[in-house]
């Protein structure tokens, strides 16, 4: 048994105050963006941002065993339709709204509420802009077709038409999920395992 039985509870309480940003109620209700069109920009200037094309390996070559393995996994996951994992994937697709980090609620042990956590909400939101800046050169350079283009099958969401012409690698959703998880696990180290598993 831990010599500090209340440490976990105290850490969670400290996290709650850190996420809220202050102990008292805000003077006014904060306003946020609503989606892609008014989404905040990132912190990094394009000229100063890392270039993912310079440090990421290329995607599997067409016809290679690695590509065949990717395709096999994609086909196998079509059987997950109407399961909780399918629903989770649908929820994970939303990354542009202020409330998107709520997918980590269970892992964090508290509810992510943008109105009560304006500083953290804007931090996580602007991270999306930075990842777009970092990844865009690689996406445009590799131009890996998205799975639903080469393997027509039902997906957990209805892809927007423009996605068919954009690259699937590197994955913006995967990168942002990991980036958010790393930030949140630093803020709540006692919940790091749950956050990173999520």
Q: Mean pLDDT, consecutive 10-residue segments, the chain of 198 residues?
A: 40 48 57 87 92 95 95 95 94 92 93 93 95 94 92 90 90 94 94 94
Q: Is residue 23 part of a domain?
A: no
Q: Please give the tally of structural domains in the chain.
A: 1
- pLDDT reported for residue 23: 40
Task: Say which CATH number the domain at 172 has.
Answer: 1.20.144.10
Domain, as residue range, for 93: 60-197
- pLDDT reported for residue 181: 96
Q: Is residue 11 part of a domain?
A: no
CA distances 20 to 114, 130, 177, 196, Å, are 9, 23, 21, 22
- pLDDT reported for residue 3: 41
Neighbours of 193 (CB within 10 A): 11
Q: Is residue 24 part of a domain?
A: no
- Whether the CB-CB separation of 129 and 33 falls below 8 Å is answered with no
């Amino acid at each position: 048994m831990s010599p500090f039985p209340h440490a976990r509870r105290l850490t969670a309480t400290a996290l709650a105050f850190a996420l809220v940003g202050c102990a008292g109620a805000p003077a006014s209700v904060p306003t946020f963006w609503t989606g892609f069109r008014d989404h905040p920009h990132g912190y990094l200037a394009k000229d100063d941002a890392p270039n993912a094309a310079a440090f990421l390996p290329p995607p599997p070559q067409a016809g290679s065993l690695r590509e065949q393995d990717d395709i096999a996994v994609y086909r196998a996951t079509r059987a997950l339709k109407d399961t909780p994992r399918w629903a989770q994937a649908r929820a994970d697709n939303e990354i542009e709204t202020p409330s998107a980090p709520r997918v980590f609620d269970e892992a964090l042990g508290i509810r992510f509420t943008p109105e009560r956590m304006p500083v953290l909400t804007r931090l996580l939101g602007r991270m999306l802009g930075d990842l777009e800046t970092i990844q865009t050169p690689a996406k445009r350079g590799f131009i890996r077709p998205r799975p639903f283009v080469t393997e027509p099958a039902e997906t957990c969401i209805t892809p927007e038409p423009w996605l068919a012409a954009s690259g699937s690698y590197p994955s913006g959703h995967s990168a942002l999920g990991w980036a958010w998880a790393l930030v949140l696990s630093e803020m709540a180290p006692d919940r790091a395992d749950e956050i990173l598993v999520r």
